[in-house]
Homo-oligomer: A and B are copies of this chain.
Amino acid sequence: MVNAETKTAKEFDIIQQHFSNINFDSSGSTEIGIGDDAAVLSLSQLQQDSSKLLVSADMLCEGTHFLSTTDPSTLGYKSLAVNISDILAMGGDPKLFTLCISLPEPNNLWLEAFAHGLTQAAKQYGLSLIGGDTTRGPLSISIQIFGTTDKPILRSGAQVGDLVVVTGTLGDAAGGLDFILDPALAANFADDFQIHVQYLQDRHECPTPRAGLTQGFDIHAAIDISDGLIPDLTHICNASGVAAALNVDALPISGSLLGANDHAVAKALVGGEDYELCLAIPPSIWPELQARAKELGILITHVGDIIPSTDRTVTVRGWSEQKLDGVINQGFVHFK
C-alpha cells in the first residue's frame, strides 16, 4: 500500500516523544533542531570549534546487519556507536547526528528501548540528534553523523616505515556472532566459561568507539576495523599506494576468543565489526601514543609495518593464506 504522504503529525509525535531529549553536544552550534523542514547549524559556531566538518552515513537492515531477536536497546547503542567509530577514525570529535528509521508498526515499547540505547551512546560520546524521519517499512536504521576536526586523518597518508597499530583485541565481535547465530553452541562450554561467551557476544553487540586517542598526534592514516583487519588495512594500502606486513604473533587476541574459537587468529585477521582503530603511525610517536592510550585505558598494539608496495597487499608474517580461506569464504562480503 502506498501512502500519498511521507510526513505526518503522528510521525512528528514519534520523534518528539522518543528522541527529542538526545541533546548532549555542548558546542552550541545547533540553532534549530528537530521540528522544521531542516535543522539549522551555525557555521561560525562550528568553526570556533574546528576548521573541518566530517560527515558519514551508515545503514543497518534487519536480517543483514542484525537479527529480529536483537535487543532494541543494544541495537540503538550500536547503531550510533558504529557511526561514532567512523568519525574517530578520521581523527574527529563526533557532535551531531540525524536518524532515519523505518518500522513495520509504531511499537512504543520497541521505540522506548531503542531510544534508551541510542541515548546512552549519545550521552557517553556527547552527541545531539538534530533531525530525521520515521516511516513505515521493513525495520532499518540509517544514521548520518557529523564531527569536527582541524586535521582529518585519511586512509591515504600511510608511509613506508610506519608502524601499523590497532586498539583493543581483534576478532571478538566475529567470535561473539557465532554464539548469537547459533545459541546452542554455548552448550559446548563449561559453566565457568559462559562469562567469556557473554563477553564475546557483548563485543559484537556493543562495540566501544575509541575516543580521545588520536588528537594532537601526527597519525599518518587511520580506518576503523568494520570489515576485518586485513580488508580494512588493504583499504589503507590501496589509498596510500603501499603494502603492509602483519606479524601474526603480535595480534592482540582475547583469552575469551582463544578459548572459544579454534579459528581465533583467523577471526582476528578478517573478522568484522570490532570497530577498533587501525592506525599507520611514524615510529617516533609510538612511545607518546602508548602513554596516551595507557591514560585512557585503551589497549594499543604494534601489529605490523607499512612496507614498499609491490601490489598493495597485506601479508601476514608467520601465517599461510590457505588458513584464511575458510574464514574469508564465510560470506563477509555483501553483494559478492
Contacts and interface: CB of A to CB of B under 8 A. Distances in A.
B40 A8 contact: no
A180 to B, nearest CB: 8
Interface string A113-154: 000000000000000001111111110101011111000101
Interface string A173-214: 110010011000000000000000000000000000000000
Contacts of A44: 47, 51
Contact of A36 (B52, B106, B154, B272): B154
Given A63-B2, A131-B57, A140-B140, A8 B39 contact: no
A325 interface: no
B5 A227 contact: yes
Nearest to A86: B37
Report whether over half of chain A's contact residues are helix, strand or loop; otherwise say mixed: mixed
Contacts of A144: 57, 98, 100, 144
Given A36-B90, A56-B39, A98-B55, A61 B135 contact: yes
A200 B136 CA distance: 25
Contacts of A65: 2-3, 6, 135
Interface of A: 1-11, 14, 31-32, 35-44, 46-47, 50-67, 82, 86-87, 89-90, 92, 98-102, 105-106, 130-138, 140, 142, 144-148, 152, 154-156, 173-174, 177, 180-181, 222-224, 226-228, 231, 234-235, 239, 271-273, 330-336
The 3 closest A-B pairs by CB, nearest first: A61-B137, A5-B272, A142-B142
